[in-house]
A = this chain, B = another copy of it.
């Protein structure tokens, strides 16, 4: 699938760079996941290592200090571990079992990194304890506005997982517009952006965040990251039995196109969105302040980083 993706996707015209602290972040994150019980067996641990969260985080914030890189790496590690758990025991396809898990994690999100009652941590298990640890560190390391944004974005992510699970149990395949909207949340790309903003010291004021050009830029960046991921992972997902939660699959569901044509159409969407991103970024940077420039840089790094990480990662082999 790399060959198709490499030839069909426009290479994002941003420098691809990797944070020099990435190897350390990878080691620390593997230990963090082990210590908190996110991985229980050597097989789980080596699958998580192959996912290479630190490589993705290190590309998203190439100049970040180790504590910021570490936090983003651990968030991505957590997301991969939770995703694996949802896949492994059918949790992600069973809304009735997933809903209480999501509700407990939402209880933890509601704490916005403040101390958690022991009963809550106990009932939430390792996934909840690790999420709480992330929240605690986000509170300690980032400005309050970013902490609040991080919490609401995690909430959207968790709620959107229930949409996906409800589809799976009903064998329902979403069409493109619905998929595109929900994928922004199931991909957890927004909370990842926010920790990347923290790492880039990008904290535009509310007036800029509510500016429709900046919010559109954010949305395009989220789509690009998700779609790039979809196109690279399509083949692996198809082999595992596609459930329709992939841009190319949504195109096929909606249009009836065969696989190759649907993949090409998905790649074209990516390329068009990248062009739109570049045009809009130009406009935003012409008017924006230093915080806005950092905000855009964080998203550039994510778009390029996802592309480079996908090209290299063994995750989709």
A185–B99 Cα gap in the complex (Å)?
14
User: Considering only CB atoms, which chain B residue lies closest to A96 in the complex?
Assistant: B172
Q: With an 8 A cutoff between CB atoms, is A71 at the interface?
A: no
Consensus secondary structure, chain A interface: helix
Structural contact, A181 and B107, CB atoms closer than 8 A: yes
The 8 Å CB contact of A212, one of B114, B145, B152, B166, is B114
The quantity of this chain's copies bound in the complex is: 2
Query: How many positions in chain A have a CB within 8 Å of any CB in the partner chain?
Result: 48
Find out whether the CB atom of A167 lies under 8 angstroms from the CB atom of B99: yes
Question: Smallest Cβ distance from A292 to chain B, in angstroms?
Answer: 14
Q: Are B159 and A160 in contact (CB under 8 A)?
A: yes
Q: Does the CB pair A107–B212 fall under 8 Å?
A: no
- Starting from the known contacts A103-B182, A110-B219, 13 additional A-B residue pairs (CB-CB under 8 Å) come to A95-B163, A95-B167, A99-B178, A103-B177, A104-B181, A106-B181, A110-B181, A110-B215, A112-B212, A145-B210, A147-B206, A156-B156, A162-B162
Can you identify 29 A-B contacts, CB atoms within 8 angstroms? A95-B166, A95-B170, A96-B167, A99-B174, A99-B178, A100-B174, A100-B177, A100-B178, A103-B174, A103-B181, A104-B181, A106-B181, A106-B182, A107-B177, A110-B181, A110-B215, A111-B212, A112-B210, A112-B215, A115-B212, A139-B210, A144-B205, A144-B209, A144-B210, A148-B206, A152-B152, A156-B159, A159-B185, A162-B166
